[in-house]
Amino acid sequence: ASRAHSATTSHSSRAIRIRGARVHNLQSVDVDIPRDALTVITGVSGSGKSSLAFDTLFAEGQRQYIDSLSAYARQFLDSLPRPDVDLIDGLAPTMAIDQKPGSTGARSTVATITEIYDYLRLLFARVGIPHCGNCGAAVERQSPDAICQSLLKLPEGTRVVLLAPMVRGRKGQHREVFEAIASAGLVRARVDGEMLPLEDVGELSLRKNHTIEAIVDRLVMREGIESRVAESVALALKLGQGLLVASSQQGNSGWTDRLFSTAMSCVQCGSSIEEIEPRTFSFNSPYGACSTCDGLGRMKDDESDQPCAACGGTRLRPEALAVTVADASIDQVTGMSMQQAEEWINQLGPTLTELQQAVARPIKLEVSQRLNFLQRVGVQYLTLNRAAETLSGGELQRVRLATSIGSGLVGVCYVLDEPSIGLHPADHDRLIQALRDLQQQGNTVVVVEHDEATMRAADRLIDVGPGAGTQGGKIIVSGTPKQVQANKRSLTGQYLAGNDQPVVPQSRRTRSSELVLSGVRTHNLKKVKVRLPLGCLIGISGVSGSGKSSLIGDTLLPAVRYQLEHGKKMPASASSVTKFSRISGVDQLDKLVPIDQAPIGRTPRSCPATYSGVMDEIRKVFAKTREAKTRGFGANRFSFNAAAGRCDLCKGLGAEKVEMNFLSDLFVTCTRCGGKRFNRQTLQVRFKGSSIADVLAMTVNQACEFFENVPSVFRLLSSLQAVGLGYMHLGQSSTTLSGGEAQRIKLGTELARKATGQTLYVLDEPTTGLHFSDVKRLVGVLQQLVDQGNTVIVIEHDLDLLVGCDWLIDLGPVGGKDGGQLMAEGTPEQLAALKGNVTGRYLQDKLN
């Protein structure tokens, strides 16, 4: 009964078959996803891609996996709901590689997520050389055999006294020492450098520090004394608990002492060093973590972001930092980028002994393989110690992707969400190759993606649509990219066929006043100077890690915000991150509006209607109805946050929270109001036949029609429509919104505000989650803001958006410490005309 899967039924044994999927807006979808292939799912925002990939495919994969577990394990987990789908078969174990911080806590770093750190810890524990905390000398561990060998190398005739250190600079009663020496059958000791009969040890002053060494043997070196040396060395090491002093004299020269040790102790000063083991280097364990910051690298709850004074941000105890491999400590290695770390590990060979090389070989292999994967997915600029918390969603997903490739698992179905986020078009090829590798290892790879190059590289392309929400949820076409391209009803196909390309503006805006920021040194920026023409749409481009966020989010935003708030320029002392020398032009602005992807509210109570302010207007409409007036209900009665009107069982939430032991909290529909959030009296008030709960259940599109004649409501709703959110339900809980959706709600809300004409809007990758056709609409909205006289700055990779900009600032040439330079500034046409500018090269294709 489906047009979608007809082309693939013959391969169904090699496919995951989905039949009758009705999750969220999916309209009883039938589709086949080929196994061991690369499938891309695309479609306009809100069409149902995630509902298909994550809420159906991945959810069922997880559920089937739990079903396959033992009855014991299942009793804790059996509450996973079955997605609303008739049948899914052919499914392998399923894993989602997503962008949510999830399990990565304050202690996760790139090295720990990828397991590289586990291997480094092993390497440092096995072949690392500890250094003495007192004198810095390298500490070596010697076998009794090796000690004998070095004594036997002394020239013939050398006089040697073998001593067992018993007490080192300590006051007190030395009876037990006396007894220990005597019971070994020895009769003399060296006390404070002077040879004495053993009896005198008992007479020593109690109040003075003494150093006591038992005299184990006196030798004159000659042939044939090997066995005597071995016996005496063994006895000395036993008495000296692994330490031995050999005092020797050649000819008439003086006596010289050498300390030997089988334990970890300093040969120079004799202080003992703890045994090192992998835990010594773990900042998640009390064995390794810096005790001042508890392994966090900075003080908890410290807003200033300064590194911990004790460990300098390395998270480790001094003992761990004092161990080196090839002259580098573990924190020096984790401070390297992927490229540097790979070089370091590859040159390890010659500095190690043969035995150490054998130990290090398998570890080197694991580490360099992973470093290689990380470079292939385009995060070669990240340092290994970079905290997971500071990674962008796209970077985190790519790090996880590299980890999956490195795991070498076979027969897994991986589901990814827009892995191209944050990647420059120039880096897409490497990412696609990484996805290919994962597939060719014998895995099924399913990617939700809007990027054109990724779509063209897919074995199977599935277009979900045609519209969003109730207007979507169908499979428009499923086939090879060529087949999709030939489909006239598919928006994706039409775009791929080149029939629906972005609109390139006829002319670019120019302005005389500009914002100038110079001497920027934040993170990797190299004293960059940029000009941002006011009243223009400005795009910031450049490969991932080149410094775009450092320039805008970490420098321009705080500098402008400070000046608008304090009425004076931001001093250098105001932040440890933001570094620049001059800013001018801020006086031309009166407002700064950053529009980021942070959630619009963390409680299930907030929703698009409340955030956008449209709820306030709708409440006024209900309060003006005759019914409300006769009952004496004011606008507040229609708020689910106020006691009078809401359901008092669920307190207006519409759901009750059930705390689960092992899973995250579950919300079940409120038994009293049935999810309507309001009490019966409130619901009896109707406007045009609908209650306030009915209105909250409407999509933005439906509500637009419904409130057509109420300008205050209509104006706000049509702004949400304009940013492509027409499909969204007014009362949908904010916690279910994606970052891109949250950003667009903010944008829509801003759009509805009375424009000052002197506002600076700053957006970071607003095209996230947007299909080509959505991008077109978004560009229209941004142009509208600029037409009102405002300035809009967008950090972007999407070429369809970049060609619509008046002015571009391109950073590069690479990510990481060698990036951070201004490559070009100008109109898209000027960039495209530059020789050797990577962004320009991609723009050329769009401009022609």
Site for ligand ADP contains 378 (CB under 6 A): no
Site for ligand ADP contains 94 (CB under 6 A): no
**3-class SS letters over 278-289:** HHHHCCCCCCCE
- Residue 550 binds which of ligand ADP, Zn ion, none (CB < 5-8 A, kind-dependent): ligand ADP
- Residue 47 host element (H or E): none
- Residue 469 binds which of Zn ion, ligand ADP, none (CB < 5-8 A, kind-dependent): ligand ADP
* CA-to-CA dists, residue 602 to 37, 103, 608, angstroms: 38, 18, 13
Interface residues for ligand ADP in 348-367 (CB under 6 A)?
none
Which tokens is 175 given?
């009876």
Which tokens is 571 given?
């001093």
DSSP string, 478-517: EE-HHHHHT-TT-HHHHHHTTSSPPPPPSS----S-EEEE
Query: Closest approach of Cβ 95 to ligand ADP, in Å?
Result: 19
Q: Which stretch binds ligand ADP (CB under 6 A): 91-99, 348-356, 486-494, 541-549?
A: 541-549
For ligand ADP, the closer of residues 50 and 827 by Cβ is: 50
Query: Closest approach of Cβ 294 to Zn ion, in Å?
Result: 43
Site for ligand ADP contains 547 (CB under 6 A): yes
For ligand ADP, the closer of residues 47 and 749 by Cβ is: 47
Q: Which listed residue (545, 608, 724, 840) binds ligand ADP by CB under 6 A?
A: 545
* Cis peptide, bond prior to residue 813, ω within 30 of zero: yes
Interface residues for ligand ADP in 563-592 (CB under 6 A)?
none
Site for Zn ion contains 520 (CB under 5 A): no
- Residue 785 binds which of Zn ion, ligand ADP, none (CB < 5-8 A, kind-dependent): none
For Zn ion, the closer of residues 534 and 653 by Cβ is: 653
Interface residues for Zn ion in 636-665 (CB under 5 A)?
647, 649-650
Site for Zn ion contains 266 (CB under 5 A): no
Residue type, 468: A
DSSP string, 658-674: E--SSS--EEEE-TTTT
Buried b (16+ CB within 10 A) or exposed e, 677-696: bbbeebbebebeeebbbbbb
Q: Which listed residue (18, 29, 46, 402) binds ligand ADP by CB under 6 A?
A: 46
- Residue 97 binds which of Zn ion, ligand ADP, none (CB < 5-8 A, kind-dependent): none
In the DSSP assignment, the letter for residue 726 is T
Site for Zn ion contains 670 (CB under 5 A): yes
CA 730: distance to chain centroid?
Answer: 32
State the binding string over 381-410 for ligand ADP (x if CB under 6 A, else -): xx-------x--------------------
State the CB neighbour count (10 A cutoff) for residue 128. 24
- Residue 48 binds which of ligand ADP, Zn ion, none (CB < 5-8 A, kind-dependent): ligand ADP
The CA distance from 209 to 593, in Å, is 71
Site for ligand ADP contains 739 (CB under 6 A): no
Residue pair 21/52 in contact (Cβ under 8 Å)? The answer is yes
Site for ligand ADP contains 108 (CB under 6 A): no
Site for ligand ADP contains 736 (CB under 6 A): yes
CA 296: distance to chain centroid?
Answer: 16
For ligand ADP, the closer of residues 441 and 606 by Cβ is: 606
* Cis peptide, bond prior to residue 502, ω within 30 of zero: no
Buried b (16+ CB within 10 A) or exposed e, 100-110: eeeebeebbbb
Query: Closest approach of Cβ 340 to ligand ADP, in Å?
Result: 12
Site for ligand ADP contains 51 (CB under 6 A): yes
- Residue 647 binds which of Zn ion, ligand ADP, none (CB < 5-8 A, kind-dependent): Zn ion
Query: Closest approach of Cβ 466 to Zn ion, in Å?
Result: 36
Site for ligand ADP contains 24 (CB under 6 A): yes
- Only one residue has tokens 């946050």, namely 641
The CA distance from 16 to 446, in Å, is 11
Query: Closest approach of Cβ 293 to ligand ADP, in Å?
Result: 17
For ligand ADP, the closer of residues 51 and 597 by Cβ is: 51
State the CB neighbour count (10 A cutoff) for residue 181. 24
In the DSSP assignment, the letter for residue 10 is G
The CA distance from 120 to 324, in Å, is 11
* CA-to-CA dists, residue 259 to 236, 321, 790, angstroms: 12, 24, 76
- Ramachandran region of residue 805, left (φ > 0), alpha (ψ -120 to 50) or beta? beta
Name 225's Cβ contacts closer than 8 Å, sequence gap at least 6: 219
- Residue 673 binds which of Zn ion, ligand ADP, none (CB < 5-8 A, kind-dependent): Zn ion
Query: Closest approach of Cβ 605 to Zn ion, in Å?
Result: 12
Half-sphere exposure (Cβ direction) of 551: Cα atoms closer than 13 Å: 34
Residue pair 127/325 in contact (Cβ under 8 Å)? The answer is yes
Site for ligand ADP contains 523 (CB under 6 A): yes
The CA distance from 445 to 484, in Å, is 19
Site for Zn ion contains 696 (CB under 5 A): no
Site for ligand ADP contains 524 (CB under 6 A): yes
Query: Closest approach of Cβ 648 to Zn ion, in Å?
Result: 8
Residue pair 761/785 in contact (Cβ under 8 Å)? The answer is yes
Site for ligand ADP contains 45 (CB under 6 A): yes
Residue pair 764/596 in contact (Cβ under 8 Å)? The answer is yes
Q: What are phi and psi of 815, to 5 degrees?
A: -85, 160
Residues in binding contact with ligand ADP, number by CB under 6 A: 32
Q: Which listed residue (8, 39, 50, 749) binds ligand ADP by CB under 6 A?
A: 50
Name 722's Cβ contacts closer than 8 Å, sequence gap at least 6: 748, 751, 777, 780, 781, 784
For ligand ADP, the closer of residues 166 and 556 by Cβ is: 556
Site for ligand ADP contains 549 (CB under 6 A): yes
Query: Closest approach of Cβ 271 to ligand ADP, in Å?
Result: 36
Residue pair 15/87 in contact (Cβ under 8 Å)? The answer is no
For ligand ADP, the closer of residues 139 and 802 by Cβ is: 802
Residue type, 791: T
Site for ligand ADP contains 43 (CB under 6 A): yes
Site for ligand ADP contains 25 (CB under 6 A): yes
DSSP string, 572-587: GGG-SS---SEEE-GG
The CA distance from 430 to 256, in Å, is 63
Q: Which listed residue (108, 368, 544, 702) binds ligand ADP by CB under 6 A?
A: 544
For ligand ADP, the closer of residues 472 and 804 by Cβ is: 472
For ligand ADP, the closer of residues 503 and 660 by Cβ is: 660
For ligand ADP, the closer of residues 382 and 722 by Cβ is: 382
For ligand ADP, the closer of residues 61 and 545 by Cβ is: 545
The CA distance from 196 to 565, in Å, is 80
Query: Closest approach of Cβ 23 to ligand ADP, in Å?
Result: 8
Q: What are phi and psi of 421, to 5 degrees?
A: -55, 130
Q: Which listed residue (8, 39, 47, 443) binds ligand ADP by CB under 6 A?
A: 47
Site for ligand ADP contains 467 (CB under 6 A): no
- Which is it for strands 791-795 and 759-764: parallel, antiparallel or unpaired? parallel
Q: Which stretch binds ligand ADP (CB under 6 A): 80-88, 215-223, 397-405, 545-553?
A: 545-553
For Zn ion, the closer of residues 82 and 672 by Cβ is: 672
CA 740: distance to chain centroid?
Answer: 18
For Zn ion, the closer of residues 65 and 667 by Cβ is: 667
- Residues making contact with ligand ADP (CB under 6 A): 24-25, 43, 45-51, 381-382, 390, 468-469, 523-524, 542, 544-550, 727-728, 732, 736, 769, 815-816
- Residues making contact with Zn ion (CB under 5 A): 647, 649-650, 670, 672-673
